[in-house]
Structure 1
Amino acid sequence: MSLSGDGGASRKTDRPGFVRFVPGGGSAGISGPGAAVPRQFSFTTRAHVAVDDATGDPIGLDDVDVRVGWLLDLIAAAGTELAARLWHPVTFDVLAAGRDRQGRRLPAQGNTAASRLGWNPRYPDGVYVPSRVTRVVTAQVMATLRTLAYRDAAITSLSERFDAATGRKAPPTQPGDWVPLGFARGVRRELLAHARRTDKAQSTRLRITDVQGPPQVAAMARLSAADRQLAQITPAGDELVLTVKLPTSPVPAGRAQWRRVRLTATIPTHLHGRAITDWHLPTLVLDHRGLLWRCAATELVPDCDLGSASVAVGVDWSPSTLGAAAITTEDPAGLSSDYRGFTYDDRGLGTKLARLQTEGQMLHRKAARLTRLAATAPPEVRARLEDKIAVLNEHRTAVGAKRGKINRELGFHFAHQVTDYAEAAGAQVIAVEDLTTLETRGHGRVNNNRAAQSARRKAVTALAHTAAGVGVAVVAVPARGSSAQCPGCDEPLARPGGYHDAWCSGCLVGGNRDHVAGVNLAKRALLGKNKVARRRGKLPAIRVAEHAPVRRSRDKTSPTPSRPRHRRVRRSLPTVTPRAGVNPKQHVPAPEASVWDTVKPTPPHGDASSRDTRTSPTPATPVADSMRST
């Protein structure tokens, strides 16, 4: 089986760290230049075979987990030490400037940038660590510090406008001072905590190093930062073979205590037959089941041309369910829609997520209360309370893991449903609400929190991944006013039937408010398809919401959603198996009266409730004497 999508693909190792497949002339899905574009995706797998690369001797998977744990401990300890040593404002000034000591621009690779700046980790005396492992450490630390550099700039901007006495912040004066509202609220809580610790003696300008401590580097090995001297990956049929150098002791003293191990893992079945061109080195982590590979690959998908889109699907995030969708079509006469949408059925997973969220919050409150009690309890009571707190934290972690699995399942199921709906309608673009401008308010503290912790962001990621596989683009459009304004006249909608209904008396259109919002979102995508802002690592976005009337179309443009019906089986009477050699009783229906019969039976006389014996009426058709039984 060819995993690259064609049988005539040639293989070569043109870059260190992964194997590249060059599709031949008969590659599936490629009909000419611009017909397919590469995109990266991630997946997970686990090794099932491990052998020593030099001798070929088998190695137990438990031993591999132990050796990988030693590698991760070295990386986490060195990364935490380097992050603590660099936890100064000057570090973030250098990262914000993006220049080294010679004024050269810092490269995007974290390990190369750290090498130019002289930021190298330190290891304990007597411990030998290869230079490629040092690359992994510096790459992970630089990724963390570059992420926190944005937070440092936001804290600096907000602290200058924050009043510790009143707890309020002044509005921004410069365009670069604006930050998302949710992020600003989190920074405000940090500034209030810092003001309480310093007795409201706040300086005019704070940095991230003033309000929080250095981060802890996660115990993982991002092998993509290294080269073939540390690890390499090769596909072999339905399997991936990873050769990685692992320590043979927790404190390796020399080069001889680092040996290569060849691990073999199965490629997931859903990747078979896809046009995969690159297999990238994985990130190694340890969980409760052992070693886990977080892999990445590059495949070819159909190109999405937003400029020629004429049919769009708008996806509105709904508080009652995960989302709803509707279709808007553009033709020479203008925009039109049938205002009949598709509402996603979460199969009860939303209720289960709400229950798990409530359970997790209850466990958190109980653990916090026991922590306060343990602070002033006697030593013997404190030991028992700490044991209970450990159990509660373990249960809360398990609840969080279960919520994560359900959110992922819910997001991908929603993505497949919406993608099938868009593909059946012939849509070229799917418009989703921009989550950076979407904030749940006005539904109460519990419902706001529940909506904020829903799987919307995972659903967007899954939708972009699934839709790209069929050549449909996903863009983010402004969310404001999508459920409150009429798609035809852009006037406020009435709510004659309550919150979930919408009606415009001027255009005589309406229906479910989520479907109306989907029409508005699809309209904004079609009107702004030539003004798309593309950001690295993010969805294409349309910043300005334009308006054009959307007329009601009587034509059926949207597909009819499938409604599976359950087969009703009557089980009130048990099925009786006839005994062998016994003929079942035959029930012969009574003969129907002929339409040519003219003699009708004489109705009985007297009261219907009388108990008098009545004679049987004379039959309408005389019966021959020879037919009567004696």
Structure 2
Amino acid sequence: MIGPGSTASRQFAFTTRAHVAVDDATGEPIGLDDVDTRVGWLLDLIAAAGTELVARLWQPVTFDVLAAGRDHQDRRLPAEGHVAAARLGWNPTYPHGVYVPSRVTRVVTAQVMATLRTVAYRDAAITALSARFDPATGRLTTPTAVADFVPPGFARGVQRQLIAHVHRTDGAQSIRLRITDVQRPPQTSAMARLSAADRELAQITATGGELVLTVKLPTCPAPAGRAQWRRVRLTAAIPAHLHGRAITDWHLPTLVLDHRGLLWRCAATELVPTDDDLRSPAVAVGVDWSPSTLGAAAITTEAPEGLVSYYRGWTYDDRGLGIKLARLQAEGQLLHGKAARLTQLAATAEPEVRARLEEKIAILNGHRDAVGAKRGKINRELAFHFGRQVTDYATAAQAQVIAIEDLTTLETRGHGRVNNNRAAQSARRKAVTALAHAAAGVGVTVVSVPARGSSALCPRCDEPLARPGGYHTAWCPGCRLGGNRDHIAGVNLAKRALLGKGKVTRRRGQLPAIRVAEHAPVRKSRDKTSPTPSRPRHRRVRRSLPTVTPRLGVTPKQHVPAPQASVWDTVKPTPPHGDTGSRDTRTFQPSATPVAESMRST
């Protein structure tokens, strides 16, 4: 049903951890460390079988079959990965004497098929780019057909791989290269996607404020029979921010192991309010990705006389997390460079020296993994804080739509090698997911719009903007309109969302998208239409003397209170008697010259 007060289904993800584990058959409690060990055995079996299957299927004929989408009997391949693998006969193999249930095999084939289907697109792109690659100059010719166009960043990465392939083969360049010629098989992650199985392997129920997961785990590293697979019932608490949500379905999680133990990556379906905002929005918020900070926002309103905007938006404050991420990124690159250099030295070193170098390489890799884990935590915190701040800004403005730049057409360039790499490493994809999750809870729709020209064109006359004050300022000589570059880009993005509300395309698993950027003049409003973001104020803390009981036989310390801070956070001299201490009264301060002369005379 579409209309006022209607709802729509939406899936979102969250994480949780088990705090109780019992044996499903006997009801005896099991230690969480034992559960982590048994889950580790399960993940080792899945990762080993998946790696072997990917290596066996790493052939051009595999990607030809996936590109055609037909099996051996010319039937269309189903969307389910484990069903498609069963039709094609792509089954994993396990060590001799090891028994693995068929449902675990479903998990392995589903994960492998998802990886191969993703890589199939890259195989087709590499084949098209290799046909336009000149091995003598190392350059790509201009594409002649629209179907041959690929994103510039992707093309540069493939170009580097083609140049490396030419160097390895001493200039013997083939006309038609495949992904198997320039890349090795991808690594298989140690995880178990239980959603690919059925109730025979795992099932989940929600009781009160807890999730109960019953999953079949091995009791030894190499189970020899069905008796060595037993069901374990795990209980985890539902996160507090999900209490009171209209959740209709809880999906089976993905099990992974991190430094704290077993982690559930869960998904759920909830009902969110929707008033068909993309057809009749009146206020839109445009979010522009900025290289200096994560993003900035501005508001455009649809009025009877046309589009209007205040042209002064809101800039996100990352609380110093961006500087910390840049430092961790530089540290990770340094560790990677050291490990790569030691690997080159170890290849031609003596056996004793090689053993010492391998120990150092292992230590460097461990430090690099720790830095990567810390960057992941900070990126997640930054993304959800950004999503909540933008949602609050849109709610205060009574906006129905939040327009963001299409990340597939967005490329950071023109800011130098270091800044381009730093901006490209920002967690924009996580920020979009967090923003969509936070906005759906309050009934605001997030839509992606074209990014080209958003910060380079005037929202009023659609002419190129000047940069009189540097990168962060924009000025239109014709309209006499100027301001912050990111805020003007936000106005353009919000304008594109309002003008393209009748041309929205929807794809499963993706945000609603507007592919065409239309233009209409945005008049500057004399009235303030955007909310004023709250600013943190300095809070004075009054620290009194500590009440400490004096110890017998010990001389107590003399606590000297700090001077009282003035209004201007400076210590002023004590005014003379009879002075009220006003700003108009100047206090007498003796000159330093007579004092110096008296010191010389003594």
Query: What is the TM-score normalised by the length of structure 1?
Result: 0.84
Question: For 1:346 and 1:544, how far apart are their aligned partners in 2?
Answer: 32
Unpaired runs of 5+ in structure 2? 545-559, 564-576, 581-602
Match of 1:122 among 93, 116, 139: 93
Counterpart in the other structure of 2:54: 83
Counterpart in the other structure of 1:275: 246
Cα deviations by residue, 1:274-326 (Å, 9 ceiling, x for unpaired): 11111111111112221111111111111252011111111111121111111
Matched position secondary structure for 2:505: coil
Cα deviations by residue, 1:321-367 (Å, 9 ceiling, x for unpaired): 11111100112211100111001111111111111111111112222
Counterpart in the other structure of 1:493: 465
Matches within 5 A, 1:380-529: 380-529=352-501
Matches within 5 A, 1:457-606: 457-568=429-540, 574=561
Matched position secondary structure for 1:308: coil
Counterpart in the other structure of 1:293: 264
Question: For 1:160 and 1:536, how far apart are their aligned partners in 2?
Answer: 33
Residues 1:139 and 2:82 aligned together: no
Question: For 1:59 and 1:255, how far apart are their aligned partners in 2?
Answer: 20
Counterpart in the other structure of 1:226: 197
Counterpart in the other structure of 1:614: none
Residue 199 (structure 1) shift:
1.2
Cα deviations by residue, 1:144-168 (Å, 9 ceiling, x for unpaired): 1111111111111111111111111
Question: For 1:345 and 1:68, how far apart are their aligned partners in 2?
Answer: 40
Question: For 1:528 and 1:157, how far apart are their aligned partners in 2?
Answer: 33
Question: For 2:428 and 2:259, how far apart are their aligned partners in 1?
Answer: 27
Residue 32 (structure 1) shift:
7.7
Question: For 2:283 and 2:320, how far apart are their aligned partners in 1?
Answer: 31
Question: For 2:226 and 2:383, how far apart are their aligned partners in 1?
Answer: 46
Match of 1:204 among 134, 157, 175: 175
Match of 1:361 among 333, 356, 359: 333
Question: For 1:233 and 1:433, how far apart are their aligned partners in 2?
Answer: 37
Question: For 1:120 and 1:31, how far apart are their aligned partners in 2?
Answer: 45
Matches within 5 A, 1:178-197: 178-197=149-168
Cα deviations by residue, 1:204-249 (Å, 9 ceiling, x for unpaired): 1111112122223222111111111111111111111111111112
Residue 33 (structure 1) shift:
8.7
Task: Give the letter for the 2:483 counterpart.
Answer: G
Question: Structure 1 residue runs of 4+, over 4 Å off?
Answer: 30-34, 569-573, 589-592
Counterpart in the other structure of 1:63: 34
Task: Give the letter for the 1:574 counterpart.
Answer: P
Question: For 1:280 and 1:553, how far apart are their aligned partners in 2?
Answer: 48
Question: For 1:33 and 1:255, how far apart are their aligned partners in 2?
Answer: 55
Residue 31 (structure 1) shift:
11
Matched position secondary structure for 2:128: helix
Residues 1:50 and 2:4 aligned together: no
Residue 495 (structure 1) shift:
2.3
Match of 2:132 among 161, 168, 175: 161
Match of 1:240 among 188, 191, 211: 211
Question: For 1:565 and 1:56, how far apart are their aligned partners in 2?
Answer: 55
Matched position secondary structure for 1:37: strand
CA gap 1:570/1:81 in 2 versus in 1, 3 angstroms: closer
Cα deviations by residue, 1:100-138 (Å, 9 ceiling, x for unpaired): 222222111111111112211222222211111111111
RMSD value, Cα: 2.1
Question: For 1:494 and 1:216, how far apart are their aligned partners in 2?
Answer: 48
Residue 174 (structure 1) shift:
2.2
Query: What is the TM-score normalised by the length of structure 2?
Result: 0.88
Residues 1:350 and 2:297 aligned together: no
Residue 37 (structure 1) shift:
0.8
Counterpart in the other structure of 2:293: 321
Question: For 2:334 and 2:412, how far apart are their aligned partners in 1?
Answer: 22
Q: How many residues align?
A: 551
Unpaired runs of 5+ in structure 1? 1-29, 577-588, 593-630
Once the two structures are aligned, what percentage of the paired residues are identical? 83
Residue 50 (structure 1) shift:
1.1
